[in-house]
Structure 1
Amino acid sequence: MELNKAVIDCMRSLRRRLRDEQQLDIHLNQPDAVSAMLAGCMRSNDELTRELGRQLATFSEQLPAPAPVPPSPSSSSTTVRIYRGQRVLA
C-alpha cells in the first residue's frame, strides 16, 4: 500500500485518538495497522473518530491490494519468505 501525506495524517490522527479513547497502542509500521485502526474506529463512540475511520477505509480501498499468489505444484521444493509484507521466493 502506497502511503501519501493524506493517508499518513489520517493514520496519525486516528492513532492519537484511539490511544486516548481506548488505550490502543498501534504503531504505523505494524503490518496490520490499518485493520487495527479500522476495528478501533468501529468500537468508538466518538463521531470524529468514526469519520476518520471512514476516511482511512476510503483511502485504503482506493489503493490496489496485492493479488494472492496461488500455490503451484512445483512450489513444494521452493522456500517462500515474507519481505516487507510481500511474498518472495528464496
Structure 2
Amino acid sequence: MEFNKALLDCMQTLRRRLREEQQLHIRLSQPDAIPAMLAACLSSSDELTRDLGKQLAAYSDSAPATINTPPPPAAKENLSSVRIYRGQRVTG
C-alpha cells in the first residue's frame, strides 16, 4: 500500500484522538496500525472519531468504509475488558 500525505494526516489525527479517548497507543510504524485504528474506531462513541475511521478506511482500501453507530450497550460491556496490545486484542 502506498502512503500519501492525506493518509498520513488522517492517521496522525486519528492516533491522537484514540490516545485521548481510549488511552490506546498505536505507532504509525506498526505493521498493523491501520487495522488496529479501524477496530478502535468501531468501538468509539465519538462521531468525529468514527468519521475519521471512515476516511482512513477509504484512503487505505483495507476495510469497507461502513462504520455505523456504536455497538449496543450490552456489547459495549464485553468490550470494556478487551485491550489492544501491539495491535492484538487481549482479554482480561
- Which residues of structure 1 form unaligned runs of 5+? 63-90
Partners of 2:34 and 2:47 in 1: how far apart? 18
What's the TM-score once normalised by structure 1's chain length? Answer: 0.67
Whose Rg is larger?
Answer: 1
How many residues are aligned here?
Answer: 62
Partners of 2:2 and 2:61 in 1: how far apart? 12
Corresponding residue for residue 35 of structure 2: 35
1:16-71: CA deviation from partner (whole Å, max 9, x where unpaired): 00000000000000000000000010000000000000000011118xxxxxxxxx
- Give matches, 1:4-83, under 5 Å: 4-61=4-61
Partners of 1:33 and 1:42 in 2: how far apart? 14
- Runs of 4+ in structure 1 deviating by more than 6 angstroms, as ranges, are none
- Which residues of structure 2 form unaligned runs of 5+? 63-92
Partners of 1:20 and 1:43 in 2: how far apart? 14
Secondary structure of 1:30's aligned partner: coil
Partners of 1:24 and 1:2 in 2: how far apart? 25
Give the percent of matched residue pairs that are identical in Structure 1 and Structure 2.
66
